């Protein structure tokens, strides 16, 4: 009987254990919000679908795999089996799609190439009416494009309706039509492929000849002359419009006019180059008019002087050195096609923007802000190791790992005499009382929205859950919270004056600062003459550390709104000095107690 009772108790404990230890997640085949296969909190699953008290990875229906689209030849990674089946795909148990059907190769389509699967290549060849040319030995996109571009091109001469016709194409495409290559002298009676020769060549005696018209080719930047049959000829060069050789032989891009530059706005040269900041476009009143034809090289550089393709960082000032204001963010700007595209890095300074330059061409990227390990570094070399983290070392203070707080360094304290803080302070959801990941997830209606004081109310029934709380400002800010109290103790010193002893005259009053030695050093020993300047400097320095921990302490937000909260000094419970040192000291009390601490609630004033 006793044994049975114990088994019951153990059983109940086992059932309750997960709930005692923390929230149990379930795998929802579909959530109330409409998301497929999510590890979520119980109660967030759509009751019309399956639910399992385990991770989705271990379920049969939500296990991620490779979803293969056999019609398009596309592979979709990390797709749950249930979703793939419902979409009409073919599912394989390999989320990274390392399966033969998904192997990439170079698909050569005329003079263009793409790195795709075999099925995709066949499909694309079908779209363009070409033979499938799939090369499995080339798995590099740049190499593939280069190979396609180097396809031998020339005039494919054929006869139809007793006429000699010509199509400018590749040797492969010409041979598909049953026409063999012709080497040696150009003749006016043989049909076949003439490598390196244009259809407009007089010697071919086809019905194609020179014209004053120009043409753009799909996938190419340059503008080409167009022969009377509509075939592209050489790159448009107004100076050579009557040059028979130029209408006979193929000239490479490097041999053409303005090689090595973009030729933006040139009326006479169509040698545009996307990577040099120009591309051929239909001429308009704003682009200028070419001497011949309808197309002109349009410049792609930006008006701010940045070249096409350049990127750079834009930051809310100040930034770095632990000084990023609350609400600030990093941005990457990219100059593409005449315009600047703004790409915000991750909010809350979870990402920072880094910028470099090669020969005056700047490139920027958003990358993760690695501030998480700063506080644990006890040596300045470790702290400022750029390979591992983004931190700065501030001397004169130390982090007590036992108490978890930062103190001013004191002669009585051992090393380290400095504290390691984030170089780019992270942002917090300091306006949220819960501040958990779940508050940032999706609602039951499926809308995922910005969080903010107005939106937070809408996150009931949220489903994000598993990875702990996110961004509680109090947890991080508390590391820089310090409360130091000192007490001025006064005693009358007998000065040995007999008159005073007999008639009650005052002996000399002597004060002594009792408490944290560093702080007593700062304040001095006389409560009527406390060294305010030292205190102000100390409060500001501590606030600097505090602000470097994240959105903590007093300061100025990105919109310029300031607060004087954060570190403060109190006397007999009355605040007399803020971190900006705005208040005046009141030393009316004979015994002065000075206390300092951080006030996370003050952050509300920084939101702006």
Angle at 200 between CA 194 and CA 205, to 5 degrees: 75
Stretch binding other proteins (CB under 8 A), from 7-15, 157-165, 393-401, 420-428: 420-428
Considering only residues 40 through 59, tell me which ones interact with other proteins, judged by CB under 8 A: 40, 56
Confirm or reject binding of residue 326 to other proteins (CB under 8 A).
no
Stretch binding other proteins (CB under 8 A), from 12-20, 68-76, 245-253, 584-592: 68-76
Confirm or reject binding of residue 542 to other proteins (CB under 8 A).
no
Q: Report the distance separating Cα 258 and Cα 277, nearest Å.
A: 13
Q: Does residue 121 contact residue 134 with C-beta atoms inside 8 Å?
A: yes
Residue 584 is given by DSSP the state P
Near other proteins by CB under 8 A: residue from 188, 289, 475, 589: 475
Q: Which residues pair with 335 in a beta bridge?
A: 340
Confirm or reject binding of residue 81 to other proteins (CB under 8 A).
no
Q: Report the distance separating Cα 175 and Cα 543, nearest Å.
A: 78
Stretch binding other proteins (CB under 8 A), from 176-184, 340-348, 388-396, 593-601: 340-348
Confirm or reject binding of residue 401 to other proteins (CB under 8 A).
no
Contacts of 121 (CB under 8 A, 6+ apart): 73, 105, 107, 114, 132, 133, 134
Residue 348 beta carbon to other proteins: minimum distance, rounded to whole angstroms: 4
Contacts of 531 (CB under 8 A, 6+ apart): 522, 523, 524
Q: Report the distance separating Cα 459 and Cα 439, nearest Å.
A: 6
Contacts of 16 (CB under 8 A, 6+ apart): none
Nearer to other proteins, 68 or 194 (CB): 68
Nearer to other proteins, 447 or 528 (CB): 447
Contact string 126-155 vs other proteins (x = CB under 8 A): -xx------------x--------------
List C-alpha distances in Å: 446 to 28, 36, 160, 436, 442: 14, 11, 62, 19, 6
Nearer to other proteins, 193 or 330 (CB): 330
Confirm or reject binding of residue 468 to other proteins (CB under 8 A).
yes
Q: Hunting for tokens 């009650």 — which residue is that?
A: 504
Contact string 348-387 vs other proteins (x = CB under 8 A): x-xx----------------x---x---------------
Confirm or reject binding of residue 283 to other proteins (CB under 8 A).
no
Near other proteins by CB under 8 A: residue from 442, 571, 596, 598: 442
Near other proteins by CB under 8 A: residue from 94, 152, 213, 343: 343
Nearer to other proteins, 392 or 513 (CB): 392
Q: Hunting for tokens 């153990």 — which residue is that?
A: 10
Nearer to other proteins, 77 or 384 (CB): 77
Residue 34 beta carbon to other proteins: minimum distance, rounded to whole angstroms: 3
Confirm or reject binding of residue 77 to other proteins (CB under 8 A).
yes
Near other proteins by CB under 8 A: residue from 29, 45, 51, 69: 69
Residue 569 beta carbon to other proteins: minimum distance, rounded to whole angstroms: 28
Residue 573 beta carbon to other proteins: minimum distance, rounded to whole angstroms: 31
Q: For other proteins, how many residues bind (rule: CB under 8 A)?
A: 83
Q: Which of 33, 30, 25, 26 is nearest to 86 (CA)?
A: 30
Residue 230 beta carbon to other proteins: minimum distance, rounded to whole angstroms: 18
Buried b or exposed e, range 344-374, using 16+ CB within 10 angstroms: ebeebbbbbbeeeeeeeebebebeebbbebb
Q: Report the distance separating Cα 271 and Cα 254, nearest Å.
A: 9
Contacts of 172 (CB under 8 A, 6+ apart): 131, 133, 151
Q: Report the distance separating Cα 415 and Cα 35, nearest Å.
A: 52
Tokens encoding 248: 């006979």
List C-alpha distances in Å: 305 to 7, 214, 260, 273: 78, 31, 20, 18
Residue 317 is given by DSSP the state S
Residue 145 beta carbon to other proteins: minimum distance, rounded to whole angstroms: 9
Residue 406 beta carbon to other proteins: minimum distance, rounded to whole angstroms: 16
Confirm or reject binding of residue 309 to other proteins (CB under 8 A).
yes
């Amino acid at each position: 009987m006793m044994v049975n009772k114990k088994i019951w108790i153990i059983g109940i404990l086992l059932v309750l254990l997960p709930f005692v230890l923390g929230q149990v997640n379930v795998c929802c085949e579909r959530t109330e919000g409409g998301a497929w296969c999510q590890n979520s909190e119980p109660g967030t699953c759509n009751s019309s679908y399956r639910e399992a008290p385990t991770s989705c990875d271990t379920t049969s229906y939500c296990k991620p795999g490779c979803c293969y689209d056999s019609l398009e030849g596309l592979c979709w990674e990390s797709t749950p089996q249930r979703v793939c089946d419902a979409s009409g795909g073919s599912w394989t148990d390999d989320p990274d799609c390392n399966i033969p059907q998904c192997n990439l190769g170079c698909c050569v389509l005329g003079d263009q190439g793409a790195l795709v699967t075999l099925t995709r290549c066949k499909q694309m060849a079908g779209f363009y009416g070409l033979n499938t040319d799939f090369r499995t030995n080339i798995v590099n996109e740049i190499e593939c494009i280069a190979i396609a571009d180097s396809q031998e091109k020339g005039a494919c001469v054929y006869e139809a309706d007793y006429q000699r016709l010509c199509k400018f194409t590749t040797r492969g495409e010409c041979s598909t039509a049953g026409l063999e290559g012709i080497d040696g002298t150009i003749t006016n009676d043989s049909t076949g492929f003439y490598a390196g020769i244009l259809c407009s060549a007089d010697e071919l005696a086809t019905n194609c000849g020179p014209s004053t018209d120009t043409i753009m080719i799909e996938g190419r930047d340059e503008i080409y002359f167009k022969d009377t049959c509509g075939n592209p000829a050489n790159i448009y060069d107004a100076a050579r419009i009557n040059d028979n050789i130029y209408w006979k032989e193929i000239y490479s891009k490097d041999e053409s006019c303005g090689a090595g530059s973009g030729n933006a706005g040139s009326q006479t040269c169509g040698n545009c180059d996307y990577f040099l900041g120009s591309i051929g476009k239909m001429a308009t009143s704003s682009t200028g008019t070419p001497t011949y034809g309808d197309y002109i090289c349009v410049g792609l550089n930006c008006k701010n002087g940045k070249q096409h393709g350049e990127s750079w960082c834009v930051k809310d000032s100040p930034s770095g050195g632990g000084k990023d204001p609350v609400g600030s963010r990093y941005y990457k700007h990219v100059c593409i096609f005449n315009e600047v595209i703004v790409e915000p890095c991750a909010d809350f300074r979870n990402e920072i923007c880094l910028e470099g330059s090669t020969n005056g061409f700047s490139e920027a990227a958003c990358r993760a802000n690695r501030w998480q390990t700063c506080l644990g570094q006890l040596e300045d070399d470790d702290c400022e190791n750029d390979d591992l983290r983004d931190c700065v070392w501030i001397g004169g203070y130390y982090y007590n790992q036992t108490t978890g707080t930062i103190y001013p360094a004191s002669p009585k304290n051992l090393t380290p005499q400095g504290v390691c803080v984030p170089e780019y302070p992270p942002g917090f959801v300091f306006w949220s009382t819960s501040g958990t990941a779940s508050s940032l997830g999706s609602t039951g209606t499926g809308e995922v929205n910005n969080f903010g004081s107005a939106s937070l109310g809408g996150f009931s029934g949220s489903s994000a859950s598993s990875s702990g709380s996110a961004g509680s400002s109090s947890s991080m800010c508390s590391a820089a919270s310090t409360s130091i109290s000192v007490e001025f103790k006064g005693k009358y010193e007998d000065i040995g004056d007999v008159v005073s002893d007999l008639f009650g005259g005052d002996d000399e009053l002597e004060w002594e600062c009792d408490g944290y030695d560093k702080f007593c050093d700062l304040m001095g020993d006389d409560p009527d003459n406390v060294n305010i300047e030292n205190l102000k400097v100390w409060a500001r320095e501590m606030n600097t550390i505090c602000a470097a921990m994240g959105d903590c302490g007093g300061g100025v937000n990105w919109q310029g709104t300031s607060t004087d909260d954060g570190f403060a000094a109190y006397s007999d419970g009355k605040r007399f000095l803020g971190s900006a040192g705005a208040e005046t000291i009141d030393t009316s009390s004979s015994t002065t107690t000075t206390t300092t601490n951080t006030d996370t609630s003050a952050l509300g004033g920084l939101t702006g």
